[in-house]
Amino acid sequence: MLIVADENIPRVRECLDGTGEVRLLHGRKMTRADLAEADALLVRSITPVGRELLDGTSVRFVATATIGTDHLDTGWLDAQGIAWTSAAGCNARSVAEYVVAALLEVSVRHDLSLDGRTLGIVGCGNTGGGVAKLAPALGLNLLRSDPPLERAGAAGPWTALDDLIAESDFVTCHVPMNRTGADSTLHLVDSRQLGRMKPGAFLLNASRGAVVDNAALLDALNEGRIAGAVLDVWEGEPNIMLPLLERADLGTPHIAGYSAEGKYNGTLLVVRALLDHFGLPPRDLPGLPPVGNGAGRPVVEGTTAEATLNAVVRSTWDIREDDKRLRQSFDLPEGERGAYFDRLRKEYPVRREFANHSVDTSGLDERTAGILRALGFACSRG
């Protein structure tokens, strides 16, 4: 069996050891010739998979180690009898923690208390649902909009998108990329919706770049119609709109879901799906090593609850460093910026989720310590 896989799927060769030949390739450089004799293809979000790539090849199984499937031509795959699957939910926790880190960073920079403010979540599947589980720990009130889930009878309460946009202090997007149909999300947040936001509101997007009209967002920021933006995804990736990065509070290179756990969960899900599809016996797959931070870092109380919480999150993963690295794009020739964006993703530093970190909360009040526990940190006193 020949399995072709994106070289950025972590530990995929190790997990498939003994299954067949595993050939690792750059996700943007895969060609039909590379797949001519392959039985299976494992990709991430940067590889368009459809007729152009697979027609005439022997590939009968495709899996993406990501939650989104907009890069798969699922209609064509179905018509050809090619099985496909995704790693739905694999990095939901990672993205939720990214949103928490971004909210805390923004609150400290702008001297805002999060307690009692409203977070509007656009898209409440695995990822948006993960945000909804963590955000109340910060004292945020929630509004949720997801018409497909609402029509399916999922438990609410639900808020119409127009109302959510108008009433929220923070709007965070977690929808799939649907370019057509009643539930199209292409430019779901456009100039009209941006015009409905409060002047002091912030927009966060960690879904797909084209969910937000980037040109309209730049205009809204330049004109002061909204307070700020946090962007992990961009229209035109990897060649992003640098004037928008310049105006964003935080800009990162599509890494919200890139915790070690989030990426590795994607590997585990596609490997298990591949084994099942080809009738191969299940196997014990290796886990991730522990963080090993001993008894935990002591926490020094900040001037506000947000400052204290932000200090703890920064000690485990500092979102400012991701932002700083992406802003180095400004120093590169235009022709090198796209490759640099991809390299930031490929060489992304190891980031472990909150639950892997122990903190000593001896110096904190019980409320702040309780928030840290609710966010998933392992807390102890002394």
Q: Residue 307's pLDDT band (boundaries 50, 70, 90)?
A: very high
Domain membership flag for residue 291 = no
Domain membership flag for residue 106 = yes
Domain membership flag for residue 153 = yes
Segment 75-107, tens digit of pLDDT: 999 999 999 999 999 999 999 999 999 999 999
With tokens 């002394």, the residue in question is 382
Domain membership flag for residue 285 = no
Q: Residue 301's pLDDT band (boundaries 50, 70, 90)?
A: low
Task: State residue 68's pLDDT score.
Answer: 86
Mean pLDDT of 8-36: 95
Task: State residue 303's pLDDT score.
Answer: 80
Mean pLDDT of 72-76: 97
- Decide if 230 contacts 249 (C-beta within 8 A): yes
Q: What percent of the chain has pLDDT over 90?
A: 89
Rounded Cα–Cα distance for residues 42 and 272 (Å):
12
Q: Is residue 111 located within the same domain as residue 79?
A: no
Segment 30-71, tens digit of pLDDT: 999 999 999 999 999 999 999 999 999 999 999 999 988 999
Domain membership flag for residue 73 = yes
Examine the pLDDT at 8 and tell me if it is beyond 90. yes
Q: Is residue 268 located within the same domain as residue 324?
A: no
Q: Is residue 240 located within the same domain as residue 123?
A: yes
Segment 149-184, tens digit of pLDDT: 999 999 999 999 999 999 999 999 999 999 999 999
Q: Which residues of 118-144 are buried (b: 16+ CB within 10 A; e: fewer)?
A: bbbbbbbbbbbbbbbebbebbebebbb
Task: State residue 286's pLDDT score.
Answer: 86
Q: Is residue 229 located within the same domain as residue 123?
A: yes
Domain membership flag for residue 102 = yes
The total domain count for the chain is 3
Q: Is residue 13 located within the same domain as residue 116?
A: no
**Could you please report the per-residue DSSP string of 43-69?**
E-TTS-BSHHHHTTS---EEEESSS--
Q: How many other C-beta atoms are found inside a 10 Å radius of the C-beta of residue 304? A: 17
Q: Is residue 79 located within the same domain as residue 101?
A: no
Task: State residue 201's pLDDT score.
Answer: 98
- Domain housing 157: 92-251
Task: State residue 363's pLDDT score.
Answer: 84
Q: Is residue 185 located within the same domain as residue 304?
A: no
Examine the pLDDT at 263 and tell me if it is beyond 70. yes
Q: Of 214, 243, 277, which closes a domain?
A: 277
Q: Which sign, positive or negative, has the C-alpha torsion 130, 136, 140, 141? A: positive
Examine the pLDDT at 295 and tell me if it is beyond 60. no
Q: Is residue 214 located within the same domain as residue 265?
A: no
More confident residue, 68 or 131: 131
Q: Is residue 228 located within the same domain as residue 302?
A: no
For residue 341, what is the domain's CATH number?
Answer: 3.30.1370.170
Q: How many other C-beta atoms are found inside a 10 Å radius of the C-beta of residue 19? A: 17
For residue 16, what is the domain's CATH number?
Answer: 3.40.50.720
What is the rounded average pLDDT for all residues in the chain?
95
Q: Is residue 11 located within the same domain as residue 36?
A: yes
Positions marked active-site: 208, 237, 254
Task: State residue 296's pLDDT score.
Answer: 59
Q: Residue 260's pLDDT band (boundaries 50, 70, 90)?
A: very high
